[in-house]
Amino acid sequence: MSPSTLAPPSKTLVQTGSVVRTVPEPPKAAEKSDFVVTPQSAPARRRLALPLLIGLAILAVAAYVVQRGADRQDPHYARAVTMIADYERGRLDSEKNYGHPVYQAALGELALVAADSESAEEAQALTQRLESLIAEWRAARETDAGARAGRDQRERSRDVAFFESQRSSRLNPVEQHPECEP
């Protein structure tokens, strides 16, 4: 089998010593295209270009709408939500202290949200929710404080009665215990 039968027709074989290499042929001069712009082919290109331009315009409008519709929150609202989320992360509802300064700071941030902002309604709803949670928490604390005061008063009166009985038994010691008699 000769080396020339193995090479593709567009390559030339060159043998140097025992190595046979293929050398590509130099590129040919560009041939002229058979396509000629005629008055009949121009409208065909225009018919193709018009739908292409319309498609690009629709794509550009869609990209603009998506970009404008992206979640653009007011920075004060976003900061308030982040502060609250950071504080509440990992806490049960019973462990949340609505008297904590983070809630007051969040309310301050929510007060700075512009009225014409896209987040204005959400900020107002969050403000109302926080204010109601804080009011409920304070009412529960006051109720707990009242119950704790009543419990403390009962314990003090029980202790006073106990100490009074101890004092009276020391003043009037009982010599005989009837329950110990045979």
pLDDT of residue 55: 80
Instruction: Return the pLDDT at 82.
Output: 92
pTM metric for this prediction: 0.45
pLDDT at 131: 92
pLDDT at 8 (0 to 100): 53
**Mean pLDDT of residues grouped by 10 in the chain (182 residues)?**
52 67 68 59 65 80 71 82 91 87 92 86 91 90 79 84 76 66 66
Q: Where are the alpha helices (DSSP H) in the chain?
A: 3-6, 41-68, 75-88, 101-111, 120-171
14: helix, strand or coil: strand
Cα 61 from Cα 67, distance rounded (Å): 10
Q: What are phi and psi of 92, to 5 degrees?
A: -75, 165
